[in-house]
Structure 1
Amino acid sequence: MAPIEVTDLTKAYGDVLGVDSLSVTVEKGEIFGFLGPNGAGKTTTIRVLLGLLAPTSGSATVLGADVTDEAALIEAKRRIGYLPANLGFDEEATGERVLEYFASIRGDSRRDELLEIFTPPLERKIREYSTGNLQMLGLIQAFMHDPDLVIMDEPTAGLDPLKQEGFNEFIRAERDRGTTIFFSSHVLSEVRRVCDRVGILREGHLVALEDVETLLDRGGKRVRVQVAGDGTGLGDLEGAKTVETIGEEHQFTYTGEYDALLRHLSSYELVDVEISEPPLEDVFMHYYGSDVEEGETANEGTETPLASDTTEATDA
């Protein structure tokens, strides 16, 4: 059985749908990126998977346990690691005490190994932690009991670039060991480097489910060109999108046939041309257009402090 199976899952907050008829399967030993801006339904889905929210309709299983079957889910959670978006450790506890607490619940067979990769100052109290140190402590508690499935909500938030790269290398190695990784993100630059597949949410709906390379192929190519003259009509080509001129450079995303693009460009006196893969942000906007909002839908992204949230995810 797949580590995560979701079928027609719906979660309503009154008249607002946090998740609407979501169906997705995450296979064993893959890194699955769950993408969307704040308010898309990512955190709601994660909290339903962990039994922290009850689904309004539909079904979901994690490691074979129905998320509405409390007894089965308690047993499954012993094999799950969880990193919520908002860490709520006791601010007066030291990092050492926090890890001891979670070790008493689930074990810590990989703690020393993880402390070589992620380096929070364990002797300090949580109130003295930077955002990055807090995130590293959260990552250690999520992985130190050697879980079969790890669910993370925005796992690289607050990490500096070197620690982000260390995290990427680590979860690729975890995948190679057979661990299944499911994480939500709205930062697309990290997704291509680590994910096998991605699902894109829009207002609670799954609008794309692709491997990363297919997603990029659908996004076309990013064209940057300088020509002698004013470049009038450069973007008048079937398949050209998001055409703009910045100084002397003309830019657009192109999803048509390459031969047609080259024929079109050859009709101009070219000064410089660059054709490259588009930023993943551009691919993302293909599914959202101009509708991405900065805010969040009702209740989406609202977290219970980790002191209760993570405990529920492991032994509740």
Structure 2
Amino acid sequence: MTAIEVSGLSKAYDGFLANDDLSFSVETGEVFGYLGPNGAGKSTTIRTLLGFQSPTEGSATLLGHDISNPVELRAAKRRIGFLPGEPAFDRNVTGEEFLDYQAALKGDSRREELLELFTPPLEKQIREYSTGNKQMLGLVQAFMHDPDLLIMDEPTSGLDPLKQEVFNTFLREERDAGKTVFFSSHILGEVRRVCDRVGIIRQGRLVTVEDVDTLLERGGKRVQLHTAEPLRESDLALDGVVSFERVGREAQFTFTGEYNALLRALGEHDVVDLEIDEPPIEEVFMHFYGDVNGDTGETESTGEQRDADDA
């Protein structure tokens, strides 16, 4: 049985399609990343799946339960942990009082274990919490009743890098223990570290569903470098250089080719500084999935051309 099954799901607001004919499935025991830029329709999908709003068209099941049937949806929710994108708390209660209330509703068999990993100051009123502490409190409540399916909207938002890594490790362990995780993100690197498969949504439509290795192969790396002498794209003469731009002695481009070849090519130049990172998610869309009109978007420009276009 699949943990989540979505078929032709659409949600319209005053004629605007926030979700447009979505169809995908999430297998039991996998971490599935729902990836897209802010405003792509990720949160709308989650709110519809959990019954906070009704779909305009289409259907979906959670753990085999039809989300359009209130009785079945309630049965599914007993086995689901949920972390919204912006958790809403009563600011006048302490973190401990909030968790006590949640425990009375759904149980808290894993509460102490989770509080060793995520450490919100339970004795303080939530009004005194930082964004990161609120997020950790939300994570504890999402997992503490030991659910079979976790649905989370931007779960690492506000966490510092150390807690992000704690969360990523914990998520992989939960997957290995048989849990199913569905979470939205706009950060490609986050999805890369923890997900088995990914669905990409753009402007309300599902662009692709594929395994993470395939996504990374297409996405390449974003290269930024500073050279002693200005570097031209022709100086590299490499396959896989996309969207080369240069301003003075600083150049940047997306590289989808063979990395040893890139290093050899750069070795012929006096490199002052070099940074290689995941490409912004918008670039993955632009270069590999096309724009909204179906164009590939694989255009290349120099810094001078870009300046002229901006003018």
TM-score by length of 1: 0.81
Distance 1:238 1:112 in 2: 53
Are 2:278 and 1:279 equivalent residues in the alignment? yes
Structure 1 residue 37, shift from structure 2 partner: 1.8
Q: Name the CA shift for 1:87/1:96 in 2 (closer, same or farther; >3 Å).
A: same
Distance 2:230 2:130 in 1: 52
Distance 2:24 2:274 in 1: 34
Q: Name the CA shift for 1:105/1:10 in 2 (closer, same or farther; >3 Å).
A: same
Distance 2:212 2:175 in 1: 16
Counterpart in 1 of 2:110? 110
> Residue type matched to 1:32 in 2?
F
Distance 1:273 1:30 in 2: 42
Structure 1 residue 43, shift from structure 2 partner: 0.6
> Residue type matched to 2:278 in 1?
P
SS at match of 1:39: coil
SS at match of 1:183: strand
Counterpart in 2 of 1:245? 246
Identity among equivalent positions (%) equals 59
Structure 1 residue 86, shift from structure 2 partner: 1.4
Structure 1 residue 199, shift from structure 2 partner: 1.2
Q: Which stretch shows the higher mean deviation, 120-129 or 76-85? A: 120-129
Are 2:74 and 1:71 equivalent residues in the alignment? no
Are 2:87 and 1:87 equivalent residues in the alignment? yes
Distance 1:53 1:212 in 2: 30
Distance 2:212 2:274 in 1: 19
Distance 2:230 2:76 in 1: 66
Q: Which stretch shows the higher mean deviation, 204-213 or 111-120? A: 204-213
Are 2:218 and 1:212 equivalent residues in the alignment? no
> Residue type matched to 2:187 in 1?
V
Are 2:67 and 1:38 equivalent residues in the alignment? no
Counterpart in 2 of 1:143? 143
Give yes or no for contact 1:18–1:41 (8 Å, CA) kept in 2: yes
Distance 2:42 2:222 in 1: 29
SS at match of 1:81: strand
SS at match of 1:234: helix
Are 2:111 and 1:119 equivalent residues in the alignment? no
Q: Which runs of 5+ in 1 are unaligned?
A: 293-316
Give yes or no for contact 1:235–1:243 (8 Å, CA) kept in 2: no
SS at match of 1:113: helix
Counterpart in 2 of 1:304? none
Structure 1 residue 235, shift from structure 2 partner: 6.7
Q: Name the CA shift for 1:163/1:230 in 2 (closer, same or farther; >3 Å).
A: closer
Give yes or no for contact 2:10–2:19 (8 Å, CA) kept in 1: yes
Q: Name the CA shift for 1:144/1:18 in 2 (closer, same or farther; >3 Å).
A: same
Q: Name the CA shift for 1:93/1:274 in 2 (closer, same or farther; >3 Å).
A: closer
Counterpart in 1 of 2:133? 133
> Residue type matched to 2:177 in 1?
R
SS at match of 1:233: helix
Please show how residues 218-257 of structure 1 align to structure 2 within 5 Å. Answer: 218-222=218-222, 226=227, 231=232, 233-234=234-235, 239-255=240-256
Structure 1 residue 227, shift from structure 2 partner: 8.1
Structure 1 residue 20, shift from structure 2 partner: 0.1
Give yes or no for contact 2:222–2:279 (8 Å, CA) kept in 1: no
Distance 1:176 1:257 in 2: 32
Distance 2:38 2:142 in 1: 23
RMSD: 2.9
> Residue type matched to 1:180 in 2?
T
Structure 1 residue 271, shift from structure 2 partner: 3.6
Structure 1 residue 276, shift from structure 2 partner: 9.0
> Residue type matched to 1:279 in 2?
E
Distance 2:26 2:46 in 1: 13
Deviations 1:194-235 (A, max 9, x none): 111111111101112222221111123555675867647337
Q: Which runs of 5+ in 2 are unaligned?
A: 293-311
SS at match of 2:189: helix
TM-score by length of 2: 0.83
Give yes or no for contact 1:6–1:24 (8 Å, CA) kept in 2: yes
Give yes or no for contact 1:7–1:59 (8 Å, CA) kept in 2: yes
Counterpart in 2 of 1:300? none
Q: Name the CA shift for 1:234/1:253 in 2 (closer, same or farther; >3 Å).
A: farther
Counterpart in 2 of 1:60? 60
Counterpart in 2 of 1:308? none
SS at match of 2:235: coil
Counterpart in 2 of 1:298? none
> Residue type matched to 2:246 in 1?
T
Distance 1:214 1:232 in 2: 26
Give yes or no for contact 1:216–1:277 (8 Å, CA) kept in 2: no
